[in-house]
Amino acid sequence: MGRPFRRSARPAALLGSLGLALTLTTPLLATPAPAAAAPATPAPSSTSASRGAVAALAGHQDLAVSRTGADPVVVPTPQSIGYAGRALRVPSRAVVIADARTDAPARRLLLSLLRQHGARSVELVRPGAVVTPRPGQLVVLLGAGSRSDIRTALGATAVPDHSEGYALRVLNSATSTGVVIGGHDGAGQYYGVQTLRQLFQTLNGRSVIAPATVRDWPRMALRGAIEGFYGPPWSTADRLRQLAFEGDVKANSYIYSPKDDPYLRADWRKPYPASDLATIKKLVTAADAHHVSFTYALSPGVSICFSSAADRTALLTKLDSVYAIGVRPFSLPFDDISYTKWNCAGDQTAYGDPGPGAAGTAQVSLLNEVAQHLQARGDDVPVQTVPTEYSDLKDSPYKTEFREHLDPSVVIQWTGTDVVPPSITNADAATIEKVWGRKTFLWDNYPVNDYGQAAGRLLLAPYTHRQAGLADHLQGIVANPMNEQTASVLAEFGSASFAWNDRSYDAQRTWHQAMAYLTGGNANAARAMAVFADLEHLAPTFGTTPWQPQAPVLAARVKAF
């Protein structure tokens, strides 16, 4: 979303001059590639499962160690987190108690983390199995929060009754030692393990787990990124890195909408070649492994004849072709098109003279048909859209058609008070919620750099000037990134953190945490990146006044010199 332009050079090449090229391609503790799933085991009775787990967690103080230094920082900031007591040493032997309802990506990540941090032997057993308590053995319970052994071990730390919520306890008492993670759903289990990933610390050369108690859930339902820029699209490798990154920061949405993919826009009627479908399938599989929804955005507005049965059939056939390889959900954007002319004479007959109201009628008719087509399949496949009027607060005949006639399940995206808004307030979001008749899904055009004012720049300033409390009025936030995928992480790290917990979000702190993530925890590299990010701090708008200044740290030092 924005104006296409041609760059004279790739600004990412500048990173090499600071020796940051390597660190910018190696995220901290990147989520491992999916491994073969462990065979499912039958669940025992709830009574035996609870009894077996409690026995397995019998305290062994040989694992408890005194800590020095600061508590680890978990990103995004949990809704509730506290630290008490001593840490747990990661021994050479660990036992993971899981069942058929344990989320497979969460289980794979947990096993990988334990091995990475020193557990040479990791045994996977079902609840209720006989696990003999022994010194030098770490026991981890992972699964649904409703599982009796997990519910018992969590005690008063109940699993939140929120989608994607989880509870985590690191037990280090004289009677119980181990780790317990319970999720409201599969995503909650996975996010609980992502939090555990950040609780590992190093003490005297050995890995320990900080003694945390966490209850957590997202404030916004949709969080992630939309590849919606003009210019060279990301490579498959870029997209795979993006999906892994989103899993790390508990983001759950990736919208595939590159403007330069001809099969999405100019040639939307044409079927994909088999090789292209195979690539999309690869991305869908990777997205599933990180609990990210791969949203497929087809943009027919440039040429569709809304009144044509053939065009509508072609559109549904195209959606069905990617539905068949696992794509969920779908978006039908109508951004960056004209609604003052029709693409065929039939639309003049069907909808009258072109204009905002008539365009709204035609678009709503198509969106409702697509929503009904997908609903008829019997599974939950929501539809999203980007309206042609996507960047203001004013009511209009176009918006009236959407408000009064659009299927209530369809999600409407909005970019704020402008295409590149300098700020977004609760009042703005509340106003547009009334105008559209539903909470909107913010398409935030930062850090995208596909427009003239951003030409030749990397936009590396923090994600900021979005008011705490927006979760009360928005369904979620997706950031529109730069053509440079890894460099976009600095801002996306912030947008995902804000969408998870907007009330506890600190832009500067999260910005520096993003640098630590990108540099693999290398303090020297993170400091060098901070210098470079300050120099590339300018955040322009479509006008002449930027909404974030150039090099504020350098400017302050020059002024004080």
Residue 40 placed within a domain: no
Which tens digits make up the pLDDT trace of 148-175?
Answer: 999 999 999 999 999 999 999 999 887 7
Residue 32 placed within a domain: no
Query: What pLDDT, on the 0 to 100 scale, is given for residue 378?
Result: 84
Same domain as 173, residue 147: yes
Domain that holds residue 51: 46-216
Is it the case that residue 4 has pLDDT exceeding 50? no
Structure tokens of 463?
A: 């994600």
Residue 29 placed within a domain: no
Band of the pLDDT at 1, cuts 50, 70, 90? low
Is it the case that residue 558 has pLDDT exceeding 60? yes
Domain boundary residue among 216, 247, 273?
A: 216
Residues 6+ apart with CB under 8 A from 522: 23
Is it the case that residue 40 has pLDDT exceeding 70? no
Residue 33 placed within a domain: no
Query: What's the number of domains the chain is made of?
Result: 2
Structure tokens of 213?
A: 């108690």
Contact 44, 128 (CB under 8 A): yes
Query: What pLDDT, on the 0 to 100 scale, is given for residue 32?
Result: 39
Same domain as 281, residue 362: yes
Q: Which amino acid is at 207?
A: S
Q: What is the CATH number of the domain that holds 117?
A: 3.30.379.10
CA dihedral sign of residues 339, 343, 347, 353 = positive
Q: What is the DSSP string of 13-60?
A: GGGGGGT-TTGGG--TTPPPPP-PPPPP-----HHHHHHHHHHHTB--
Domain boundary residue among 186, 216, 246?
A: 216
Q: Give the count of beta carbons closer than 10 Å to the beta carbon of residue 421.
A: 21
336 an active-site residue?
A: yes
Which tens digits make up the pLDDT trace of 433-465?
Answer: 999 999 999 999 999 999 999 999 999 999 999
Sheet holding 64-65, edge to edge: 64-65, 87-89, 206-209, 200-203
Same domain as 523, residue 547: yes
Query: What pLDDT, on the 0 to 100 scale, is given for residue 174?
Result: 74
Residue 191: alpha-carbon gap to chain centroid: 11
Query: What pLDDT, on the 0 to 100 scale, is given for residue 128?
Result: 86
Residue 1 placed within a domain: no
Query: What pLDDT, on the 0 to 100 scale, is given for residue 18?
Result: 33
Is it the case that residue 27 has pLDDT exceeding 80? no
Is it the case that residue 142 has pLDDT exceeding 50? yes
Query: What pLDDT, on the 0 to 100 scale, is given for residue 15?
Result: 37
Band of the pLDDT at 6, cuts 50, 70, 90? very low
Contact 398, 391 (CB under 8 A): no
Per cent of the chain over pLDDT 90 is 83
Which tens digits make up the pLDDT trace of 60-112?
Answer: 567 888 877 899 999 999 999 999 999 999 999 999 999 999 999 999 999 99
Q: How many helices (H) and strands (E) does the chain have?
A: 15, 19
Which tens digits make up the pLDDT trace of 371-410?
Answer: 999 999 988 888 999 999 999 999 999 999 999 999 999 9
Domain boundary residue among 164, 182, 216?
A: 216
Same domain as 468, residue 445: yes
Is it the case that residue 30 has pLDDT exceeding 60? no
What's the rounded Cα separation, in Å, for the pair 212 and 217?
Answer: 16
Is it the case that residue 20 has pLDDT exceeding 80? no
Q: What is the CATH number of the domain that holds 365?
A: 3.20.20.80
Out of 336, 428, 502, 534, which one is annotated catalytic?
336
Rounded to an integer, the average pLDDT of 177-181 is: 96
Higher-confidence position of 260 and 519 = 519
Query: What pLDDT, on the 0 to 100 scale, is given for residue 44?
Result: 42
Contact 375, 400 (CB under 8 A): no
Residues 6+ apart with CB under 8 A from 402: 360, 363, 364, 387, 412, 436, 437
Is it the case that residue 45 has pLDDT exceeding 70? no
Rounded to an integer, the average pLDDT of 514-527 is: 97
3-class DSSP assignment, residue 247: helix
Is it the case that residue 48 has pLDDT exceeding 60? no
Same domain as 330, residue 397: yes
Same domain as 250, residue 173: no
Residue 299: alpha-carbon gap to chain centroid: 22
Same domain as 226, residue 212: no
Is it the case that residue 10 has pLDDT exceeding 90? no
Same domain as 86, residue 65: yes
Residue 561 placed within a domain: no
Query: What pLDDT, on the 0 to 100 scale, is given for residue 530?
Result: 98
Rounded to an integer, the average pLDDT of 171-186 is: 92
Same domain as 173, residue 154: yes
Same domain as 429, residue 284: yes
Same domain as 229, residue 204: no
Structure tokens of 347?
A: 């639309």
Band of the pLDDT at 53, cuts 50, 70, 90? low
Residue 346 placed within a domain: yes
Residues 6+ apart with CB under 8 A from 68: 203
Residue 9 placed within a domain: no
Query: What pLDDT, on the 0 to 100 scale, is given for residue 244?
Result: 99
H/E run at residue 216: strand 212-216
What's the rounded Cα separation, in Å, for the pair 410 and 557?
Answer: 50
Query: What pLDDT, on the 0 to 100 scale, is given for residue 25?
Result: 33
Q: Mean pLDDT over all residues of the chain?
A: 91
Same domain as 226, residue 100: no
pTM (2 decimals)?
0.90
Query: What pLDDT, on the 0 to 100 scale, is given for residue 19?
Result: 36
